[in-house]
Amino acid sequence: MLDQATIAVIKSTIPLLESAGPALTQHFYQRMFSHNPELKDVFNLAHQHSGGQPLALFNAVAAYAKNIDNLGALAGAVERIAHKHTGFLIQPEQYHIVGSHLLATLKELGGSAVTEEVLDAWGKAYGVLASIFIGRESEIYQERAAGHGGWQGARPFIIKEKRQESEIITSFLLTPADGKPVLTFKPGQYLSIQLTHPELEYQEIRQYSLSDAPNGRDYRISVKREPEGQVSNLLHDVLQVGDEVALMPPTGDFVLQASSTTPVVLLSAGVGLTPMLSMLNQLLANGHDAEVRWLHACEHGALHAFKQEIQDKSRQHARLESRVWYRTPGEQDVAGRDYDFAGTLSLEQVTDLIPADAHYYFCGPLGFMKAVKDQLASLGVPADRMHYEVFGPHQDL
């Protein structure tokens, strides 16, 4: 644990951190990739270019400094980040590299305000945090390896099936090359896929939500084509049935946790429906005793993935009700057949469908999730009944 003198020094640097802002972590990443280019095979460089990862890291560093005397407040963030790290196969020795560049960044950007006392305090504080992450990540690695069908590291899988779900979303059914069982997972979790290909400058790792209930045999992910996405375009256009990819075990802390008598409302927009679909299929497979609501929003019918599947399930399961919003319905889209409402998702339009004691799981673009959270709060839903996942670097809503 940290002594009070070190804690005091860390807290004294909060104004310095806040004045530097994300420029601090942008400099950190530039420095680290310059000195250790091998890490470009680990980090998602697209998130570097977008600024999402530097912002997420800055928020994490600032939160650590502000809660340095109450690390329990960071338990949720530590768990989420540790799961992410295991998906990228982060190893203990890499924490030393990150720590050295973080301290060097503080020294280079902080000027005279960053004294040896400050560097020493941050060195100690980083050491404590690194130990927490290394310990938790070791546990996760061991849990994934010890489970039935489990493994550690990258495991070869074959693309068994490739199916287009909409104009921009394609599903991939992935089966283990060795024909052995696969580790089960909790609906809401994701897979990390590792790709090396002549079209890619570096080895790339991406994380995609599992889009079906666990079965012990194979996994399904459903991938949105991003206009500038190297990996998503490679998956859509180049990789075919029979090709091999490498997967890390399923992981993630956004998981379905509902008793059989708990009403569940699943809300999504666009490709955010993928973890929701995994949750839905598990609920239906278990014969969930309470009401289940599927509320989905997308641009129009051409981008509406899994439409027929959800309509079929709604007819087959009396406790499942589905409602769909198209922001800009197309000429071929028919109200009452393809969608229920035009415009953006509004809970006021379906209040009669929502049980008072429901738990809410939601995923989609950040603006959509912020709007959902605000609507839920306005309806009096407590925070502990709201559960959400941000694709990519985490942000608070």
Binding residues for FAD, by number, are 190, 206-209, 390-393
Average pLDDT over residues 209-235: 95
Binding residues, by number, are 85, 190, 206-209, 270-275, 390-393
Q: Are strands 320-326 and 219-224 parallel, antiparallel or unpaired?
A: unpaired
Fold that domain 264-389 belongs to in CATH: Rossmann fold (3.40.50)
DSSP-derived letter for residue 158 is E
Binding residues for NADP(+), by number, are 270-275
Whole-model pTM: value is 0.91
The per-residue pLDDT for range 77-108, each reduced to its tens digit, is 889 999 999 999 999 999 999 999 999 998 89
The per-residue pLDDT for range 332-355, each reduced to its tens digit, is 999 999 999 999 999 999 999 998
Q: Give residue 66's identity as a one-letter amino acid code.
A: K
The per-residue pLDDT for range 133-149, each reduced to its tens digit, is 999 999 999 999 999 99
Three-class DSSP category at 361: strand
Confidence of residue 19 (pLDDT cuts 50, 70, 90): confident
Is residue 53 over pLDDT 80? no
Catalytic residues, by residue number, are 95, 137
Domain 4-146, CATH among 1.10.260.30, 2.40.50.100, 3.40.50.720, 1.10.490.10: 1.10.490.10
Which CATH architecture is the domain 155-251 placed in? Beta Barrel (2.40)
Locate the domains of the chain by residue range.
4-146, 155-251, 264-389
- Provide the H-helix boundaries in the chain: 4-12, 14-20, 23-35, 45-50, 52-66, 75-87, 92-110, 116-146, 230-237, 273-285, 307-316, 366-378
Cα 339 to chain center, whole Å? 28
Q: Higher model confidence: residue 40 or residue 189? A: 189
pLDDT at 50: 56
Is residue 392 over pLDDT 70? no
Is residue 203 over pLDDT 80? yes
> What separation, in Å, do the N-terminal and C-terminal C-alpha atoms of the chain show?
31
